[in-house]
Amino acid sequence: MTVIDIEKMTVAERLLAMENLWASLAEEYQQSEIPSWHGRILDQRLEKLRCGEANVLTLDELDGRRR
């Protein structure tokens, strides 16, 4: 399938194709193992949150940084 083939599809067909693609990726991802270093980073971040050392932003503050 090429980009040209995709562009010939209706919006409904493209949405269905995206849903099917996402479903297949989600299923495969659930079966894969998360690298150990991901877990270590998440553990470190959770510990910072528990100790009050994390710099937490609200969504509004984060949005303001993007501008």
Residue whose structure tokens are 């910072």? 48
pLDDT at 32: 73
Q: Classify burial at 60, counting beta carbons within 10 Å of its beta carbon; exposed 0-12, middle 13-18, buried 19 or more.
A: exposed
pLDDT at 67: 67
pTM reported for the whole predicted model: 0.45
Provide the residue ranges of all domains of the chain, joining segments of one domain with +.
1-32, 35-67
Contacts of 1-10 with CB under 8 Å at 24 or more apart are none
- What are 17-57's pLDDT values in tens digits? 999 999 988 877 777 788 899 999 999 999 999 999 998 99
Q: Is residue 54 within 8 Å of 48, Cβ to Cβ?
A: yes
pLDDT digits 0-9 by tens, 3-22 = 889 999 999 999 999 999 99
Q: What is the pLDDT of residue 33?
A: 80
